[in-house]
Amino acid sequence: MSTRYAMPGPNEPCWCGSTRKYKQCHRAIDLAAPEDKYSEAQRIYAVNWRVTADAQSKRGDYDWMSRQLKKYGINRLLDIGCGSGHGILSMLSEFGSDLRVVAVDENPSCLSTTKDTLQKAGHAPALVSRIETQPTNFGYRSVYSAITEELPAPICLLQADVCSDPHLLSALQADGLFDAVTVWLNGVHMQRQDHEVVRDAGVESDYAHRLFVQNAAYELADKVLRSGGVLQVVDRGESLSNDALTEDILRSHREQAGPTTLDVIEVDHTPWSAPEGKRVPMVQTPGTSGRVANGDMALISVISVKS
C-alpha cells in the first residue's frame, strides 16, 4: 500500500518505497493501459512470488508448515491464497495424494502457476476462473460469476475473493465440511489497494490488508470446518524468543477468533529469513503490541479448533 510520486527513471528506486528499482517494481503496471493494469499487477505478483516460494520450498519451509497439521488427520483441505501451489504440494505429500483440496485465490495468474506446479508433480488439478475486474473512476470493481456446478475433484483451484465473493460460502458448503483451512503467508499484488473491496473497508497498509484477509478467513473457517476441524494461519514475524512475545501473538489471534466459535489452541515457530532473490516485499506480523521485530525472524504457525 503506497503513496504515488512523480515517475522515476527505470534504474531509480520505485516511487512506492519498496526500495526496488522502478523497472523491477511498478514500471510495467504504470505503462499498461488502464484496463490491463490490474491483471498486469496480478501477473507480476505471480511471477515474483514463485521465486520466493521456490526458495522456501527447497529449504523445507512448507514441509514445516504442513507438519504442524499432520496430527489432526486431514482428508479435506481448504487452502486460502494458494500462491504458486508449493504449500498444497507439501500437504499432498504429508497427508496423502488422495487429499481433497479446494484452493482459493483471487489472482488468476497465481492459480495458473499453482496448476503448473501441481501438474509437474503428477497431480490433476482443475481450474475454475470466474472473476472479471474492470477499472472504474475510483479504482477497480469485480464481477463474480455464480458457481452453478459442483466443484471439480480431487483438486479444485477456484478463483474467488475470500473478502467479498457473494458465491464462495455456498459453493464450499455444497462441497461438504472441511478438516482444515490454511492461510499461509498472506500478501497481495500492487493494484489491490485501489480495489473497491479494499478501499470500502478502509484498509490502508499491507499489514491491515493481511488482517482483513485473515479475519475473513476466520469467519469463513467457522462456517466450513467440521467440529474439531482446524484453521492454521502462518505468518512471518519476530521469533518467539520469550513468553511475552508468544502471549502477544496468541492474544492477537484470540482477538481475530473473537467473533467466531474457533478457539486458539496452539502456536509454534521456526527460524525464517528472506530467501535470496526474494522479489515480493516481506510484511511482518506484529502482535497486539504493534512492536516491530528487530531480532531474528520466524515462521509463526497459529492453530485454532472449531468447537
Judged by beta carbon, residue 110 or residue 298, the one nearer ligand SAM is 110
**What whole-number distance in Å separates Cα of residue 81 and Cα of residue 106?**
8
Cα-Cα-Cα-Cα torsion 110, 111, 117, 119, nearest 10 degrees, comes to -160
Choices 25-33, 105-113, 141-149, 249-257; region in contact with ligand SAM by CB under 6 A: 105-113
Choices 3-11, 98-106, 125-133, 287-295; region in contact with ligand SAM by CB under 6 A: 98-106
> For the window 165-204, what string marks contact with ligand SAM as x by the rule CB under 6 A?
-------------------xxxxx----------------
Contact call for residue 206 and ligand SAM (CB under 6 A): no
Rounded to a whole number of angstroms, the minimum distance from the CB of residue 244 to ligand SAM is: 27
Judged by beta carbon, residue 129 or residue 307, the one nearer ligand SAM is 129
Choices 12-20, 99-107, 130-138, 283-291; region in contact with ligand SAM by CB under 6 A: 99-107
Judged by beta carbon, residue 168 or residue 262, the one nearer ligand SAM is 168
Instruction: Write the DSSP assignment of the chain as a string of letters.
Output: -----SPPPTTSBPTTS-SSBGGGTTHHHHHS-GGGHHHHHHHHHHHHHHHHHHHHHHTTHHHHHHHTTGGG--SEEEEES-TTSHHHHHHHHHH-TT-EEEEEES-HHHHHHHHHHHHHTT--EEEE--EEEEE-SSSEEEEE----SPPPSSEEEEE--TTT-TTHHHHHHHH--EEEEEEES----TTGGGBHHHHHTT--SHHHHHHHHHHHHHHHHHHHEEEEEEEEEEEEEE---SHHHHHHHHHHHHHHHTTSSEEEEEEEEEE--PPTT--SPP-----TT-PPP-S-EEEEEEEEEE-
User: Within 260-289, which residues bind ligand SAM (CB under 6 A)?
Assistant: none
> For the window 48-77, what string marks contact with ligand SAM as x by the rule CB under 6 A?
-x---x------------------------
Judged by beta carbon, residue 27 or residue 209, the one nearer ligand SAM is 209
Rounded to a whole number of angstroms, the minimum distance from the CB of residue 305 to ligand SAM is: 21
**What whole-number distance in Å separates Cα of residue 169 and Cα of residue 171?**
5
Judged by beta carbon, residue 22 or residue 144, the one nearer ligand SAM is 144
Among 64, 74, 77, 87, binds ligand SAM (CB under 6 A): 87
Judged by beta carbon, residue 82 or residue 245, the one nearer ligand SAM is 82
Count of positions on this chain that bind ligand SAM (CB under 6 A): 21
Rounded to a whole number of angstroms, the minimum distance from the CB of residue 265 to ligand SAM is: 21
Residues 198 and 277 sit within 8 Å (Cβ to Cβ) = no
Among 50, 64, 66, 106, binds ligand SAM (CB under 6 A): 106
CA angle, 222 then 260 then 201, to 5°: 95
> For the window 21-50, what string marks contact with ligand SAM as x by the rule CB under 6 A?
----------------------------x-
Residue 49 identity: W
**Site residues for ligand SAM per CB under 6 A:** 49, 53, 81-83, 86-87, 104-107, 110, 161-163, 184-188, 213
